[in-house]
A and B are shown apart, each in its own frame.
Chain A
Amino acid sequence: MIKEYKTIKEIASPLMVVEHVEGVTYDELGELELPNGELRRCKVLEVEGDRAVVQLFESAQGINLAQTKVRFLGHPQQLAVSEDMLGRVFNGMGRPIDGGPEILADAHMDINGLPMNPAARAYPAEFIQTGVSTIDGLNTLVRGQKLPIFSGSGLPHAALAAQIARQARVLGDNENFAVVFAAIGITFEESEYFINDFRRTGAIDRTVVFSNLANDPAVERIATPRMALTAAEYLAFEKDMHVLVILTDITNYAEALREVSAAKKEVPGRRGYPGYLYTDLATLYERAGRRQGKKGSITMIPILTMPADDKTHPIPDLTGYITEGQIILSRELHRKGLVPPVNVLPSLSRLKDKGIGEGKTREDHAGTMNQLFAAYSRGKDAKELMTILGEAALSEDDKLFAKFADEFEKRYVSQGNNTNRSIQETLDLGWQLLKILPRRELKRIKPELIDKYLPKD
């Protein structure tokens, strides 16, 4: 029997205190019934004796303390999952908003998930060809990886994420794939950009959308990525699909978290974000991966806009410590007109080493990758020196490196959003660029491979 309470003591949005409760547990989902019959959701944040501190997911507007009823539902927040979710659009709380019918649940899953046992994980090692040279060649994505895009306001992260979603393929494999897209506090236009792109390519039928737009309640955002990941876990590990999860924008998520934390009067950590921001983000990101004995996988591309392009801001900083690398976009390259403006040097994929090489991509991949990085770094240094002292101050070698850096940006990085390069094309292009440099500087590559692959003419 579910009890109803009319004992709301106070409301200070987004928090509410209910008194004289009985049997209420931490993290339990609750429901408010307003006098006009409207239903709103909430969850228990803290319970002490017969007093419960409850977080509202929606606005507190119109709630009357005396007449509003509260029910606690006896379970944490859940999502009804089924294969029919594909092709549907839900709001941030998991309710359909595309006018279609309710989902006939195959199961109800706790949206918080459970930590994955490291002994049950399968190491991600399957190369995903995204068709983007800076990713495939230098920061290789593999199935089951979480690789965020660090962007800034006004940078074209959406175009890059859409390009990856459109082009990503595993070589020699067109298995069951699905996209789960979570719009977290982004604008209608940005969300439509993705959805139109999915529609254009036909991927929409294989896509589940969770949409919490900028004008939706901010606290709902805390649930939205969890909804998306629960759906992804169901599709990947129950239905054997390879799921690509795009979460955008994590910055909005962290701000919602900060809002609730401040309302709870918690001791703030860096920049007012709660001290548990790291563990909280980890419980999202770590849900990506593969499991032994399961066919499916969850590959995650979270997008976050770095406030003031600052990589040391808590959100990108903590994210970088959890995710397996990062793709960083550069405002400077964007101004120069490079598309996509991937800032190659600080970008990184931690899982690339097991996903590349003979049998996966090509034997020369690891060596050329390191060589391109090292050469581009030296070329950028040389160019910096050149701006101060003029070209004459450079040694002959450094001049070649400076030229290499220019060509690299022009031909390798700036490929446009509609070019889909195969990994062979990417690797061959790398060799053509390395030809600019004297052979004795190619120390990162084995001599046999130089003999085999360096273009002769």
Chain B
Amino acid sequence: MSGTITKVSGPLVLAEGLADANVSDVVRVGSQRLIGEILNMTGDRASIQVYEETSGLGPGAEVETTGMPMSVELGPGMLDNIYDGIQRPLPEMRAASGDCIARGIDVPALNREKKWDFVPVAKPGDKLRAGDVLGTVQETSAILHKIMVPNGLSGELVRIESGEHVVTDEIAVLRDEKGKEHALTMIQRWPVRIARPYEKKYVPARPMNSGQRIIDTMFPIAKGGTAAVPGPFGSGKTVVQHQLAKWSDVDIVVYIGCGERGNEMTDVLMEFPELKDPRNGEPLMKRTVLIANTSDMPVAAHEASIYTGITIAEYFRDMGYDVAVLADSTSRWAEALREMSGRLEEMPGEEGYPAYLASRLAQFYERAGVIECLGQDERRGSVTAIGAVSPPGGDISEPVAQATMRIVKVFWGLDSALAYARHFPAINWLSSYSLYLDTLAPWYTEQFGESYMKNRTQAMHILQEESELQEIVRLVGQDALSPADRLTMETAKMIREDFLQQNAFVDEDAYSAYAKQYRLLDLVLRYDAACREALDKGVDMNALFVIPAREAIGRAKMADAKTFAADYDAIEAQMKKEIAEVIAGGEDA
């Protein structure tokens, strides 16, 4: 089944004589056996997008189809690993071809030599169906990898082998209804552009804890939900994504660097093995799969990387795990679509993007969700999808941002003005939103009592009022404000600086547990309440604003995770005492 090239134009190759090939088949192109994928077919002529640099390719060269769509290998060995956009392991490519990525390298995604200790769960004679767990492998110290019956198979288990095996070894034999025996290994293959099946989908109802105060308290995301992080360059998208990858309370993180900087991926590679999960003390890398498709890699692979990542995420979800997919950035993916669309000479839609941009984006985000997995044990898993968007000039009226906003439920809008003032995370509290607030509120109330959400509402109210008051101040100066309004502005400043601002590079502050978030915001609001009471007694507001407890509140976020409760009690007592002194002083005078 091979054809010949008739035209080469950058990453787009036309070939004829491919009557046997199917649309979306993976093909090997030319003598270097570059990897490509068939986009369109006309008669026996195929348009092929090639995932590697096509320099040196010309008409007459051979094209061979593999007869398979673009697929990933799923099995033990993905965690703690780093892949390029089409699931080739980068460390092994480095061993094979040196510091730069040579073309046509063929390295299996899963290591074929490494032995895994397979522990059977199912017994011979068991009636199994797709999704049932055959056995487990302790893939990393943090994650137990469940080997499942591949989709489309069911029947009676004939044999199962325990012990040390490589991924390609036969570990079990299943006899289907027709009596045919199927040998099973630890590898499954799945075409990346097709969502993996599940039993049933649920509405997300549990928050994903990220340890980021503006996210957890102000704009929470649910496990199984979708979120977008749009922002101009330098506004801290990547830092937000890194923070989520580090501190989210999910079992598995799939981080897709799509068309981004090489050094950022290196940073993750260096840093994650050193960082410990605050919940179980395991290195974060042990639960992470990295897809590194840097901007200098061929553009066609940017497009594939997003699908590769979410398919791997779905596979872990099917084991019953909570998975987060972080895609940085979906704009690069959209641009790759645009570039290929242009080369195919398709009719362009808005700003040159193809007309199917919105539907492709929707398909990606719709692969997120809380589901009941296939299999008889009714386990549940979830995929949470969070995509960064890099709109030109930070203007979110462009097509990618707009199409994304129509789909996602949480919007963390980054703001360059905040970033310039080094207010990080630079998530704008006025433009951001979370549509999960209503579904998640019962959970917060159940866990932390009524006041958690009440405090959140009050804080948002103060911030909103601040923005209105600022308009007035800009026109007539702050002397025109009443003392109560001045206090509102002061409290808003404290919410911004002492609560919302969070320094990702300081250990004490990088992760904030729910309890600490609650107490910290509560402290600020108690200060506000106490001051308001004092103002009613006619106290000079300026004296209230400079009490030493203010500095203590300003530093309160740095309190140690273990002792913060006692520290905050002390600050509160100090604050009350000092305000009382101001009141007393006012009465003396």
Contacts and interface: CB of A to CB of B under 8 A. Distances in A.
Contacts of B548: 440
A121 B91 CA distance: 11
B479 interface: yes
Main secondary structure of the interface of B (DSSP, over half): mixed
Contact of A48 (B14, B477, B555): B14
Interface residues on B, range: 35 or more
Of the candidates B82, B100, B233, B270, the one having the most CB atoms from chain A within 10 angstroms of its own CB is: B233
B152 to A, nearest CB: 35
B352 A317 contact: no
Contacts of A46: 7-10
B33 to A, nearest CB: 15
B477 A389 contact: yes
B296 A282 contact: yes
B586 interface: no
A377 B423 CA distance: 10
A167 interface: no
A302 to B, nearest CB: 14
Contacts of A312: 232, 392-395
A366 B505 contact: yes
A26 B55 contact: yes
B266 A121 contact: yes
A116 B99 contact: yes
A342 to B, nearest CB: 13
Contact of A76 (B14, B55, B477, B479): B55
B502 interface: no
A177 B156 CA distance: 69
Interface in B1-55: 6-10, 14, 53-55
30 contacts: A26-B9, A46-B8, A46-B10, A47-B59, A48-B14, A113-B100, A115-B294, A115-B297, A120-B94, A121-B262, A121-B263, A123-B263, A270-B351, A270-B392, A278-B259, A282-B296, A283-B295, A285-B295, A311-B393, A312-B393, A322-B261, A326-B234, A346-B420, A350-B234, A385-B474, A388-B474, A389-B476, A395-B478, A443-B551, A443-B554
A385 B551 CA distance: 26
Contacts of A320: 232-234
A118 interface: yes
Contact of B234 (A123, A278, A348, A374): A348
B259 A282 contact: yes
Contact of A114 (B54, B100, B551): B100
B421 A119 contact: no
Main secondary structure of the interface of A (DSSP, over half): mixed
A321 B233 contact: yes
B358 to A, nearest CB: 18
B93 A117 contact: yes
Contacts of A269: 338, 351-352
Nearest to B237: A321
A159 to B, nearest CB: 24
A160 to B, nearest CB: 19
Contacts of A144: 263
Interface string B230-252: 00111000000000000000000
Contact of A49 (B6, B82, B94, B474): B6
Given A26-B54, A440-B551, A317 B392 contact: yes
Interface in B95-147: 98-102
Interface string A345-376: 11010110110000000000010001001100
Contacts of A49: 6-7, 59
Contacts of A50: 59
Contacts of A267: 342, 348, 352
A287 interface: yes
B233 A317 contact: yes
Contacts of B14: 48
B60 interface: yes
B322 interface: no
Interface string A424-457: 0000000000000000100110010000000000
Nearest to A386: B477
A266 interface: yes
B296 A286 contact: yes
A378 interface: yes
Of the candidates A110, A112, A269, A392, the one having the most CB atoms from chain B within 10 angstroms of its own CB is: A269
Given A26-B9, A286-B262, A345-B420, A393 B479 contact: yes
A237 interface: yes
A172 interface: no
B58 A275 contact: no
B269 interface: yes
A216 interface: no
Given A27-B54, A278-B295, A283-B296, 14 more contacts: A47-B7, A48-B59, A76-B56, A117-B94, A117-B101, A275-B352, A276-B339, A286-B261, A317-B232, A324-B263, A374-B422, A377-B422, A393-B477, A447-B555
A70 to B, nearest CB: 15
A94 interface: no
Contacts of A345: 420-421
Interface string B162-180: 0000000000000000000
Interface in A167-206: none
Contact of A116 (B100, B267, B393, B479): B100
Interface in A282-313: 282-283, 285-287, 289, 291-292, 294, 311-312
Contacts of A279: 259, 295-296, 299, 335, 339
A377 B497 CA distance: 14
